[in-house]
A and B are shown apart, each in its own frame.
Chain A
Amino acid sequence: MTRWLSKNLIRIYAALAFIYLFIPVAYTMAFSFNDSGKRNLIWQGFTFKNWLNPCGAPEVCTALGNSIKIGFLATLFATVLGTMIAFALGRYSFRGRSATNLLIFLPMATPEIVLGASLLAMFLNLGINPGFWTTVIAHVMFCISFVVVTVKARIASLDPKLEEAARDLYATEWQTFRRVTLPLVAPGIAAAALLAFSLSFDDFIITNFNSGTVNTFPKFVWVSSARGVPAQANVIGSAMFLIALAIVISAQIYSSAKARRLQKKH
């Protein structure tokens, strides 16, 4: 018995850890099938009704649409700006580089609630009414730091000899960037963009301060939780999870199939 335990302890531990991680997700999914009526807190019976009509609850799809739009715009701006900052910090030495390195970390370390409140104060002082674009600006701001950190790590792992080799092989500065640097840093940029999107899509605190009357999905869930979250929120939450999972799995399958194909040619 003790032998069995010592042999399998790590597996039991792993199983428990995964259960801990996935119980909330499982709960969300299970309750997306709840035949709930208004309050989706007590199990009433199984139904596909919610999945067949995800926009059934008032406002839910408008809020989702806003979240996706804001997410895309924030990701686009944050990724482009953040990648440029990462290249500047990772590749060039200039006055104020170490200060910039430090400052770029600050938004990550500052409590969101403080950032959100300060941003609102700033917009109001500038006479800008909070709404869609103030939300985008706020999201770009807190996403940039994460993009910079992610892309910079990728740039740091890039062998500068490869760029020298490109220049040696008749590539101009632009061709070197386009043909060698960018393709090699691309996985880092893609990871940063995904991270930025999920941060933006998920954000509630800063959004709540700076979005005025524009509803986003987290805001919708928060507001409706006072009177009971509709099951459609669970449907959308579950769908997001499944889409993310599908992307990860297909990427895995693609890369292992590619590896196998190359292996065959061996």
Chain B
Amino acid sequence: MANHPDAAAAKTGDLKLSSLTKSFGDFLAVDDLDLVIPKGSFFALLGPSGCGKTTTLRMIAGLEEPTSGKIYLGDTDLTDTKSYRRPVNTVFQNYALFPHLTIFENVAFGLRRRGIKDVKEAVEKVLALVELAHLRDRKPTQLSGGQQQRIAVARAIVNRPALLLLDEPLGALDLKLRRQMQIELKWIQTEVGITFVHVTHDQEEAMTMADTIAVMNEGRIEQLGSPADLYENPKTAFVANFLGQSNFIKGTLESTSGADQFVNLQGTRIAIPAARNSSTHKSLLVGIRPEKFRIHNVGDSTTGNKLEGGIVTDISFVGVSTQYQVEMPWKQELMIFEQNDGGAPNLRKGDAVTLSWEPHFTFALDGDEDVTSGLSGADAE
């Protein structure tokens, strides 16, 4: 690295995107994006296809020119720097390994271009890290998908970039391999300590690997936070739907007393923590995740919030849990997941039930949020 004037160690620090905008003709792909990605973090840009996440990544890599806005790494302005002068490397979606070069030469490519003569040690070390040293003389087409993926990572991190960009890196792998690579990538990130920016449409992948997730939709960031924070306390219906499943029930805010708020939920008074209400209006959309509900026979004692008058309309057993569909008196179907640990009563279709849940598992959104927002995106992938 010392031989290269541009990838010098001085150019590290947090990645800052400032009012970053990219339009293709009339289409606004990335809309006035402001974002700070702390040095050394594993950061995910999560969103459905067409949300602008890949365009954002390509602008950071220098493969796409922003329409306006700035990109900083530490104190250095990278906006007008050519891609080959940025201390940034990318793991491409379909790996983009050079088919005419051996695995060794693929990995050595970046080092050689920076004028480093003795590449052997560095290349062998990184091949050992991804456990593929024995394949050094092969050509990329002779490798399996998982092996190609690891070589793509090795080819990037051997350069010790300040920033590693991963563009849907696991999209082409089957489920089992994807799980394994998720763990491996996370381990590599901890090992090399480089900032990883990971673009994906797979919420599970983002939640497994990233410290911080930015959920993107239509060129903007909907919400930014830790995986648990986004899941437990979504601020929009899009985020709630894109990360997992939710039941949304319309309600009206009745009163606030200290840290608690009371909501009229289709005729029943329930409590929610005021901190988990992101709306300023009286009309609310109350969200409860399916696994937070508890299901009871009518008349059983319950704690927390309670909704009565449910009728079981469907039951499906899925191994670790049972999924119930319950129709409420206001003709809405709710989804309830119960662990198969003996906690739930034996129920059949048509049984009358009562639902309960703890107030702190409730979140509330603006009443005019579109409850279907983010559903199609998550389902399409």
Contacts and interface: CB of A to CB of B under 8 A. Distances in A.
Interface in A169-226: 169-172, 175, 179-180, 183-184
A168 to B, nearest CB: 5
B99 A168 contact: no
B54 interface: no
Interface stretch (B16-24, B135-143, B356-364, B372-380): B135-143
B63 interface: yes
Contact of B90 (A162, A165, A180): A165
B316 to A, nearest CB: 42
A258 B84 CA distance: 34
A167 B159 contact: no
A262 B139 contact: yes
A161 interface: yes
Interface in A126-154: none
Contacts of B82: 167, 172
B61 interface: yes
A167 B139 contact: no
A170 B110 contact: yes
A195 B181 CA distance: 47
Contact of B92 (A161, A183, A262, A266): A161
A262 B155 CA distance: 22
B96 interface: yes
A265 interface: yes
A168 B7 contact: no
Given A167-B83, A169-B110, A159 B100 contact: no
Contact of A180 (B83, B98, B139, B159): B98
A180 B62 CA distance: 19
Contacts of B61: 168
B89 interface: yes
Interface in B75-102: 82-85, 88-90, 92-94, 96-100
Contact of A171 (B4, B84, B139, B156): B84
Chain A contact patch, size range: 20 to 34
Given A167-B63, A262-B138, A162 B113 contact: no
Interface string B100-134: 10000000011001100000000000000000000
B113 A169 contact: yes
Nearest to B134: A265
B92 A164 contact: yes
A261 to B, nearest CB: 10
A166 interface: yes
B159 A169 contact: yes
A37 B137 CA distance: 59
Nearest to A168: B90
Contacts of B109: 166, 169, 171, 179
A190 B114 CA distance: 30
A184 B100 contact: yes
B96 A159 contact: yes
A47 to B, nearest CB: 49
B113 A175 contact: yes
Contacts of B94: 159, 161
Of B92, B114, B139, most A-chain CB atoms within 10 Å: B92
A196 B100 CA distance: 25
A162 B84 CA distance: 14
A181 to B, nearest CB: 11
A165 B92 contact: yes
Nearest to B61: A168
A159 B137 CA distance: 23
A170 B142 contact: no
B96 A165 contact: yes
Contacts of B155: 169
A44 to B, nearest CB: 54
B212 to A, nearest CB: 24
Contact of A172 (B4, B84, B159): B84
B137 A265 contact: yes
A97 B139 CA distance: 36
Residue of A166, A167, A169, A184 with most partner-chain B CB within 10 A:
A169
A262 B62 CA distance: 37
A183 B155 CA distance: 19
B83 A262 contact: no
Contacts of A262: 138-139, 142
A179 B84 CA distance: 14
A233 B76 CA distance: 72
A175 B98 CA distance: 14
A120 B96 CA distance: 50
Contact of A265 (B7, B88, B100, B138): B138
Interface centre among B82, B93, B98 (most CB of A within 10 A): B98
22 contacts: A159-B94, A164-B92, A165-B90, A165-B92, A166-B98, A166-B109, A167-B62, A167-B63, A168-B83, A169-B109, A169-B110, A169-B156, A169-B159, A170-B7, A170-B110, A170-B113, A170-B114, A170-B159, A171-B113, A183-B100, A262-B139, A266-B142
Given A179-B109, A266-B142, 10 more contacts: A162-B99, A167-B62, A167-B82, A168-B63, A169-B84, A169-B110, A169-B155, A170-B85, A175-B113, A184-B99
Interface of B: 4, 7, 61-63, 82-85, 88-90, 92-94, 96-100, 109-110, 113-114, 137-139, 142, 155-156, 159
Interface of A: 159, 161-162, 164-172, 175, 179-180, 183-184, 262, 265-266
Closest 8 CB pairs of A and B: A169-B110, A165-B96, A170-B113, A161-B96, A167-B83, A171-B113, A168-B90, A170-B84
